[in-house]
Amino acid sequence: MTPNLRLFKRTLARKQEDIASCYTITKLRFAFSEIDGDLFVAQALNFLLAGFETSASTLTFALYELALHPEIQQSLRAEILHVMGKHDGKLTYDGIQNMSYLDRVVSGEERSGFKQ
């Protein structure tokens, strides 16, 4: 029996009392198992949902702050309309890349402008 397998069995025998123990056991189980199709699909879905949740949370917070601060909302709207005017009234990838105020609002740099 290899040292890693002994550690795995000893860890499984311990009582799982805290999150670190649960994480270690899960990590060891994963290390000593083969990845089948179902596990692969589950992990891919997990990565997809984790990325979606982060983006959704960021946008939700930005929209909430914009609703509370109409002056920032107006400035952002003016920038969007100005940039769209340069791109024949269409919202394009290049146009979004040119929206520096939008970038600051979404990334949270404009939070200093949000009144407490």
Task: Write out pLDDT tens, residues 7-43.
Answer: 666 666 665 566 666 666 666 666 666 666 777 777 7
Compute CA 79 distance to the chain's CA centroid, rounded to the nearest angstrom.
Answer: 26
Average pLDDT over residues 74-87: 93
- Say how many C-beta atoms besides its own lie within 10 A of residue 59's C-beta: 11
pLDDT of residue 89 exceeding 70:
yes
Query: Mean pLDDT over residues 65-84, rounded?
Result: 91
AA letter at 101: Y
Contacts 24+ apart (CB under 8 A), 25-29: none
Residue in 82, 113, 116, 112 with CA at minimum distance from that of residue 99: 82
